[in-house]
Amino acid sequence: MSETQTWPGLEIDEFIFFIATERGLSAAYQLSVRQTLDALHAWGNRHQHSLADLGTDELSAFLADRKCESLDASSLRITAVHLKVFFRWLSAKGRLLMDPAEPLHAPKPEKILPETLHARECTRLLESIDVAKFLGSRDRAMLELFYSSGLRLSELCGARLENLDLGEKFIRVTGKGNKTRIVPLGDEARISIEHYLAVERPTLVKRRTSSHIFLSVRGEALSTDRVREIVKERAQQAGIEQNIYPHLLRHSFATHLLEGGADLRVIQELLGHADISTTQIYTHVDQKRMKNIHKSFHPRG
């Protein structure tokens, strides 16, 4: 152990600034990385390790401690990735003589299949919203867009009028890593959005309202928390007992496309996945569905 018994942690602030400004990574990702590195910082100081003391064995011990704290395999994998990118950066900057995280083996992610709604449940949810009632037009348009285009929650909340083309039926959204993609709109979504923009959005506009498509009663862009609440409220009103949340509609969008015969690469582009392996989880959902059908209907299932 070196004579320096504590690690000041200033490198963490520098690294977060780097991934924010030069890599353009989202605030959510920055927070996730900071939580990992703050935990490592606390662990290092608790064990009286300076930054230079942290070799592969120490980082492995840190991961082992995190596992004992009940972190699942998926969270441990994310933690290991955070360590790798942080120490690779430190090494590239000449702060360390070698990269101690390079030999780390991240745990394999568990194959947890995403929940989905049946197509008829999606229809039930959407058609239960009375557009003649206050905020009905907004909420119908919002949920139609979720299901029609498979947007992430943050993408829907950040959607702006200037990026919407109802004539050509597409919307331009900015996703993870500040990557922009163009996503098509279905006819039902286009009709619902047109109605909302013509009838209800003008009544929500206030003096300082931005160009965000979906507005609160105060004329502000809807927060992610509020949209989660709206989705749950609308599901309850539709009599759907399943736990409903925005990402469930994204999962349903992808699964129903795959069931309909869409190519996996096309689904990858629509979802904005950087890696096809992320999209392949939906093939497992489809295989599970086929097995259930076989079991239910085959005489020897």
User: Does the active-site annotation cover 273?
Assistant: yes
For residues 132 and 256, membership in a common domain is answered with: yes
Task: Please list the residues that pair with 174 across neighbouring strands.
Answer: 180
The pLDDT of residue 8: 67
pLDDT digits (tens, 9 = 90+) for 236-272: 999 998 889 999 999 999 999 988 888 889 999 999 9
Q: How many CA atoms within 13 Å lie on the side-chain side of 58?
A: 20
* Secondary structure E strands in the chain: 164-165, 170-174, 180-184
User: Does the active-site annotation cover 208?
Assistant: no
> In angstroms, what CA-CA distances link 292 with 65, 119, 219, 282, 285?
40, 16, 47, 15, 11
User: Residue 126 domain-assigned?
Assistant: yes
User: Does the active-site annotation cover 250?
Assistant: yes
- Which structural domain range is residue 88 located in? 10-92
Distance separating alpha carbons of residues 100 and 296, to the nearest angstrom:
52
Q: Hey, which of 3-17, 131-145, 171-185 has the most confident mean pLDDT?
A: 131-145
Q: What's the CATH number where 238 sits? A: 1.10.443.10
Distance separating alpha carbons of residues 207 and 74, to the nearest angstrom:
45
User: Residue 144 domain-assigned?
Assistant: yes
Q: Considering 66, 77, 140, 152, which one is annotated as catalytic?
A: 152
pLDDT digits (tens, 9 = 90+) for 30-48: 999 999 999 999 998 888 8
For residues 128 and 271, membership in a common domain is answered with: yes
Distance separating alpha carbons of residues 251 and 288, to the nearest angstrom:
15
Residue 99 has pLDDT above 70, yes or no: yes
User: Residue 109 domain-assigned?
Assistant: no
User: Does the active-site annotation cover 282?
Assistant: yes
The model scores a pTM over 0.75: no
Backbone angles phi, psi at 29, to 5 degrees: -70, -40
Q: Considering 273, 284, 294, 298, which one is annotated as catalytic?
A: 273
User: Residue 97 domain-assigned?
Assistant: no
Q: Considering 47, 176, 212, 226, which one is annotated as catalytic?
A: 176
For residues 84 and 163, membership in a common domain is answered with: no
User: Residue 1 domain-assigned?
Assistant: no
Q: What's the CATH number where 87 sits? A: 1.10.150
Q: Considering 140, 250, 251, 256, which one is annotated as catalytic?
A: 250
Last residue of a domain, one of 44, 75, 92: 92
Number of helical H runs and strand E runs in the chain = 14, 3
The pLDDT of residue 157: 94
pLDDT category of residue 177 using cuts at 50, 70 and 90: confident
Average pLDDT, the chain: 87
User: Residue 42 domain-assigned?
Assistant: yes
Structural domains counted in the chain: 2
